[in-house]
């Protein structure tokens, strides 16, 4: 399994990508209990788009199961929003991340972006909230600027 960027593995530099690939290939789970962060959330927090692509290709879910619109820990989209990682947020929204999910304190990803250092992406996230994610997001909100 190559790490050379030829499509067979993550093209990240360094040992984190190699370690992640080894763990996934050995059967490590990509999902956690409802009150814990997932590997995808950690990658989003760090703005590791290469790792996010890798984890998504291996079946990582962008949304928690059965949350009724509320979660106990920040979703990957929320993590990207709080850190100001716009390209990461776009990647997650394209993959179907739900921008309307709220953390139990009531905040959405857009509100967390405004509250923290992601102010530059608030309009993008607000568009996603009103439009939706996936293909609808691509058509309505993901315009080259």
pLDDT band at 82 (very low <50, low <70, confident <90, very high): very high
Extents of the domains making up the chain: 31-140
Q: For 55-74, what is the mean pLDDT? A: 82
What does 12-33 look like in DSSP terms, one character per residue?
-SSHHHHHHHHHHHTT--S---
Residues 118-133: pLDDT tens digits? 677 899 999 999 998 8
Under CATH, which number does the domain 31-140 receive? 1.25.40.20
Contacts of residue 54, defined as CB under 8 A and 6 or more positions apart, other chains included, come to: 9, 10, 17, 20, 21, 24
16 vs 121, more confident: 121
């Amino acid at each position: 399994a190559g790490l050379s960027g030829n499509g067979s593995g993550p093209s990240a530099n360094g040992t984190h990508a190699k370690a992640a690939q080894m763990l996934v290939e050995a059967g490590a789970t990509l999902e956690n209990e409802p009150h814990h962060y997932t590997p995808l959330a950690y990658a989003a927090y760090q703005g590791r788009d290469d790792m996010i692509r890798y984890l998504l290709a291996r079946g990582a879910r962008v949304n928690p199961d059965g949350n009724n619109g509320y979660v106990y820990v920040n979703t990957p989209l929320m993590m990207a929003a709080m850190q100001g990682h716009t390209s990461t947020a776009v990647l997650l929204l394209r993959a179907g991340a739900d921008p309307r999910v709220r953390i139990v304190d009531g905040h959405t990803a857009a509100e967390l972006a405004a509250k923290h250092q992601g102010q530059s992406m608030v309009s993008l996230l607000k568009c996603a909230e009103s439009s939706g994610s996936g293909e609808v997001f691509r058509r309505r909100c993901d315009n080259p600027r």
